[in-house]
C-alpha cells in the first residue's frame, strides 16, 4: 500500500475531528511546529521507528516536538490513536498532510522567495504585492532566503509552482541554446 496514503487518511480524519471542535487552527500551528522539528532533527524519525522504545515515550516526544501543552487534547488523542494502531512512525507524514489539508481548506499559499542578495524592504513589498495579485485572493505564508549562487535575481516558489528569474538560470538557458545548435 502507498505509504503516503495512510498518513493522508489519518490527517483528513484529524482535520475533520479538529474542525468539529474548533481546534483546526491551533492544531495547524502544532503540526507546523512538528513538521519543522522533523526537518531540523532527522533523528526524531529514527526514534519513532525504533521498536525498543515504549510508545508512551514516543507520544511524549512527538507532543514535545510539536510544542503541545496540557491544553491540546486533540493532539494528545490523535497520538494515542496512532500508538494504539502502532502507527506513531507516520506522525511526520500525518503532520505534513494535515498542514496541506488545512492550507487548502483556508486558501493559504506557501510562498518562498530566494534572492542572490538581501532585498530592500521596498523591493520586498513590491514583490509581495505582485505575488498577492497573482494569487488572486487568499493569504500567504511568506518566507525569504538569500542564496548567493543565484548570482543575481531571484526565485519564487508558490506551493508547487516555481518562477526562476535568476542570472544562474538565464546562463543555464543560454548554455543549453548554444549546445543545441
Q: What is the pLDDT of residues 25-72, one digit of tens each?
A: 999 999 999 999 999 999 999 999 999 999 999 999 999 999 998 778
Tell me the pLDDT of the chain (181 aa) as tens digits.
Answer: 346 899 999 999 999 999 999 999 999 999 999 999 999 999 999 999 999 999 999 999 999 999 998 778 999 999 999 999 999 999 999 999 999 999 999 999 999 999 999 999 999 999 999 999 989 888 999 999 999 999 998 999 999 899 998 999 989 998 898 888 7
Per the listing, cell 520586498 goes with: 124
β-bridge mates for residue 113, sequence order: 144, 156
From the DSSP assignment, how many helices (H) and strands (E) are in the chain? 8, 4
Handedness of CA 4, 5, 9, 12 (dihedral sign): positive
C-alpha cell at 2: 502507498
Cβ-based neighbours of 80, under 8 Å, separated by 6 or more: 59
Residue 146: Cβ within 10 Å count: 13
Per the listing, cell 542564496 goes with: 147
Question: Diameter of the chain by CA atoms?
Answer: 66
CA distance 14 to 75: 9
CA distance 45 to 82: 15
What is the predicted pLDDT for the residue at 1? 39
What is the predicted pLDDT for the residue at 3? 61
Residue 123: Cβ within 10 Å count: 12
User: How far is Cα of residue 165 from the mean position of the Cα atoms in its chain?
Assistant: 24
Query: How, if at all, do strands 139-146 and 108-115 pair?
Result: parallel
136: helix, strand or coil: coil
Q: Quick one: residue 157, left, alpha or beta (phi over 0 = left, psi -120 to 50 = alpha)? A: beta
Query: How, if at all, do strands 153-158 and 161-166 pair?
Result: antiparallel
Amino acid at each position: 500500500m502507498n505509504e503516503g496514503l495512510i498518513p493522508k487518511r489519518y490527517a483528513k480524519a484529524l482535520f475533520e475531528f479538529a474542525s468539529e471542535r474548533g481546534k483546526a487552527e491551533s492544531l495547524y500551528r502544532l503540526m507546523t511546529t512538528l513538521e519543522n522539528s522533523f526537518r531540523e532533527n532527522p533523528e526524531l524519525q529514527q526514534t519513532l521507528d525504533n521498536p525498543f522504545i515504549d510508545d508512551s515515550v514516543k507520544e511524549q516526544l512527538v507532543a514535545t516536538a510539536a510544542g503541545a501543552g496540557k491544553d491540546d487534547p486533540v493532539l494528545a488523542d490523535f497520538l494515542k490513536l496512532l500508538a494504539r494502531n502502532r502507527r506513531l512512525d507516520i506522525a511526520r507524514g500525518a503532520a505534513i498532510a494535515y498542514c496541506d489539508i488545512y492550507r487548502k481548506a483556508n486558501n493559504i499559499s506557501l510562498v518562498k522567495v530566494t534572492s542572490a542578495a538581501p532585498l530592500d524592504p521596498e523591493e520586498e513589498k513590491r514583490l509581495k504585492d505582485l505575488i498577492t495579485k497573482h494569487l488572486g485572493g487568499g493569504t500567504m505564508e511568506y518566507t525569504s532566503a538569500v542564496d548567493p549562487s543565484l548570482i543575481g535575481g531571484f526565485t519564487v516558489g508558490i506551493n508547487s509552482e516555481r518562477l526562476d528569474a535568476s542570472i544562474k538560470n538565464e546562463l543555464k538557458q543560454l548554455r543549453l541554446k548554444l549546445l543545441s545548435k
